[in-house]
Every structure is written in structure tokens, then in C-alpha cells.
Amino acid sequence: MTEAVPIRASRARRYDKQRGCYVYDVSFTTTVPLTARTVEVAEAFGLGVDGEKEHVLYRDFELHLAEGDVVYITGDSGSGKSVLLRALQEDLGEEAVDIADVEVDEDTPLIDTVGSTFQEALRLLCKVGLNDAFLFLRSWDQLSDGQRYRYRIARMIDTGRRFWLADEFCSTLDRTTAKVVAFNIQKLARRCGATLVVATTHTDLEEDLNPSILIRKGWGEEIEVDYRENREAPGCSVAEDVNIRLGTREDYERLSHFHYRDSRVPVPHRFFAMERDGEIIGVIAYCYPPVNSAGRKKAVGYRPRLGELNREWTIISRVVVHPKYRTIGLGRRLVEETLPLCGRRHVELMAVMAQYNPFAERAGMKLLLRREPHVSVVKAVDGLRELGFNPPLMSSKSYNRRRLGELSDAEMEEAREILLGVSTQYYKRLTSSGRPYVRKEEFREWLHEVPRERLDRVLANLAVLSQSKAYLYWCRDWMDEGEVDEGE
């Protein structure tokens, strides 16, 4: 058994006041143990192995690092990228956080692990592309590698540290996901005023990081540093190969399972699909609008009749982007580019997510109001809570079926009366009826005829009605007037 090779590292750093930067000297020294075979190597190749050999990685290397810079260190494995990153981390101390060192709670739902409030947690998760209601409820061990990286970014932002470091940046991700993450993290760092320093062997992230400092580390002392203007990347390279076409229901169904609501849509008017290299990565569904809408009168100053609604109005019912491609502006593009093609003068959008992710506003729609649930809906939810229902869980039909089966006959009758107390304008929504109106006596009769377990959908629909929603509006006339805001 031979003795381990001794390695002694040397690192020196000094601040040069004249040049206004830190200067690094990094090297390591190795000693070769004398064995029969190492001596034979020395004899065969004429090497001296009885002394120390110095390997210099950085000599008088200066780095001008300003607050808000994005630094991209790239080079072959073993060239010294990680050495420089560790040196920077030691110098920055408590102000720096390495994405690999971010603590994660593997068993707690994501929504409970970031932010000081519920609203802050939602906005933070949406910023990093974890903008799906299902993902809010998942824990770390239920995420993909790409989602885990996004989550670590959210946690890094939440630390409030001024310097973000990432060694082997995105090395475990497929290259499309890596480019999306790179674009996203530089955007977030610059908007947060943080300094980002990443190191990786991959050289394909330059366009998406748009670094203000590009460091190419070669072997030995070889190094190139390129200082550039510090500005946010104008767009993600992944989005350059994307196109939008008229779609079909089949296109929609390919991605519908990524939406937090069920895959069904109201009567569809038109679909559009977004493609990249032949893959469907996004879809938008325009549908015939409901008879009543809280923000409609505010939008146009009157209440349109049914004939006009069918001819001139449509509502965006679903906007779905594949999770891999989120946070690079594709949701905005789906809305922005299809609004003029949807074939209607007036377009509405009512959504919970629009309150936390303003993609529709960036696409040119105007936020006119935030609609709170009707008082009769709130009262019904409170009544069901007293019967033992947990309102946050009522969006789950399986939960509703289980809870309905536990009710006594008297409690079941009370639940029917509670549902009957909801305003008549919502009976159609509660029953998922295709009829324009459902009268109170018809609803009462229906509630008593339907088996109790079949009311699971009614309770799920009630849970949807109890949500606060944003109402957004767009008019084709704005295009003629030049008022459409193209957003970011």
C-alpha cells in the first residue's frame, strides 16, 4: 500500500487600491511518494520526483466585481473554476449564498417553505416558474431535477443575501432546461440587485446569462476576462425557435393535464398551439363567454345582450405552458399573438393566477377589477365548514365524495339547503349544466334526485366560485388606435 500524495494549497488575496479590485494568487504544490513504480516512471521519462512541484492556477489575477454583476466562469474540468468560486465565497463571507448549500425541507409543501406570508410565497414561487397550483402543494421529494433547481433559486432569493453563487451550474439538467433556468436566474438577480457568479464546463449559456463578466479559464495560468455592459438578457434563446399556429382540441388535450383545473373547457370557440421543433409546448383556449360577468359593464359601459355576446365576445378559458418552458415569456406570447387572431372584438380573462403572474397584462390586456366571491357563495362555504368540510380541500372531488359519505341523513339534508342558498345565477355553474338558466325549484329537485356522492362536483365547483379572481379585458379597437401595450 502506497502513501497518499501530499497536496498543499496556497491562496493569497490582496486589494489593489490603485486598480480598485482584488488580486488573487492561487496555486497548489504536490509531492510524489517514492515507490518502485514511481521511480521506474522517473527513470523512463527522465523526471525528478524527489522534490515538490508547484501548479499555478491564478497569478496576479484581478477581478473587478461590482454589485449586480453577472459573472460566468467557464472552462474545462480541472482548470480551476471551482477554486476561484470558493475563494470568492470565502471573501464575501455571510453576504454570499451558494445554491448547493440552500437548506430544503423534503417533506413540507413548497407553499409553506418560502416567504413570510401566503401572498409572498405565491409570488416567489411564480417568479421562478413554479407557478402551478399543484406544485404549491408538492414537497421537495416530489419535484423533478429542473423544478428542484428552480425551488433552490426561490430559497436563495428568500435568504436576502447579496451574492448568489453556483458551482457546476445546471450541469445535471438537460440543455433546454439549463438555458431556461440560466435566463430566469440572471433576470431575477438583476431585478433583485444581487450579484450572481456561476461556474460550469458548459459554454452554451452565454446568450441566456448575458454576463457582464465572462471568465474563460484554461489550463495552468491561462485565463481570459471579458468585461461587458451589465444589462438583462433581452430574451431566452429557447424562445427563438417557437411558433404559434391555429390549434385543435387534440393539441389542447396533450397539455391539459398540466393545468390545475380539470381538462374540460366550456364550449370552445378557437384553440391555438405553440410549437418548438414539432413539440407542443403551449396552448390557449378561447371559449364562448358566460352570460354574466362582474367586470363586463366596467369594460364597455353596458351589459351586452346574448346575441352580441355570441358574435363579438370570447373568453380566454385556459392558457397552458409546459412546465419546462415557463418564466421565459411564452404565456405572454400565447396571449399577445393570438388576441388579434381570435376572431372576436372583445376578449375577457378571469383567473386566480393572473393576480400573481401578470402575463396577460404584459400581453396588452387591462386589469379592470379583482372580483371577490359572492356573499351567498361565502355563506355556503361557511355553512359547509360547520358540517365538517375543509374548504381548501373542497376542490378535490375525491375528498368531497369521502366527506359526503360520512354525513348522516339529517346532515345531508342540511348540506342540500346550504347549496340551495347560493344565488340562482350560480346554479348553472354548480350543476355544470349546458342550459343558460337553472331555476331554484329545478335546482332543489335536482339536489334531491342526484345520489349524494354525485354532489362531489357541485362542491368542487363551489370551491372555484369561492376564489378571488382578476378580471382582464382587451378590445380589438385598441389595435387601430395604437393603444396595445406590448409589455416586456
pLDDT of 259 reads 80
Does the structure show a pLDDT above 60 at 2?
A: no
pLDDT in tens, 213-250: 999 988 877 888 899 999 999 999 999 989 999 999 99
**Confidence band, pLDDT 50/70/90 cuts, at residue 8:** very low
pLDDT tens digits, one per residue of 249-266: 999 999 998 886 666 777
User: Which tops the pLDDT comparison, 270 or 68?
Assistant: 270
DSSP string covering 195-257: EEEEEES--TTHHHH--SEEEEE-STT-EEEEE------SS-GGGGGEEEEE--HHHHHHHGG
Q: Select from 472, 261, 476, 193 the least CA-distant residue to 357.
A: 472
296-353 confidence digits (pLDDT tens):
999 999 999 999 999 999 999 999 999 999 999 999 999 999 999 999 999 999 887 7
Structure confidence by residue, pLDDT tens digits, 354-411: 767 789 999 999 999 888 889 999 999 999 999 999 887 888 888 899 999 999 999 9
In whole angstroms, give the CA distance from residue 267 to residue 289: 9
pLDDT above 90 for 455 = yes
pLDDT at position 36, please?
Answer: 78
The pLDDT of residue 150 is 92
Provide Rg for the chain, Cα atoms. Answer: 30
- Residue 279 confidence (pLDDT) above 90: yes
Domain covering 67-235: architecture = 3-Layer(aba) Sandwich (3.40)
Sign of CA dihedral 233, 238, 240, 244: negative
Q: Has residue 431 got a pLDDT over 90?
A: no
Q: List the grid coordinates of 215.
A: 471568465
Mean pLDDT of 190-205: 94
Task: Determine the pLDDT at residue 45.
Answer: 73
Average pLDDT, the chain: 85
pLDDT of residue 438: 80
Place of cell 452554451: 204
For domain 239-372+469-481, the CATH architecture is 3-Layer(aba) Sandwich (3.40)
Q: In the structure, what pLDDT confidence band is assigned to residue 46 with cuts at 50, 70 and 90?
A: low
Between CA 87 and CA 93, with CA 91 as vertex, the angle to 5 degrees is 115
In tens, the pLDDT along 51-100 reads 665 555 666 677 777 888 999 999 888 777 888 888 888 878 888 999 98
pLDDT, mean of residues 30-38 = 70
Residue 9 banded pLDDT, cuts 50, 70, 90: very low
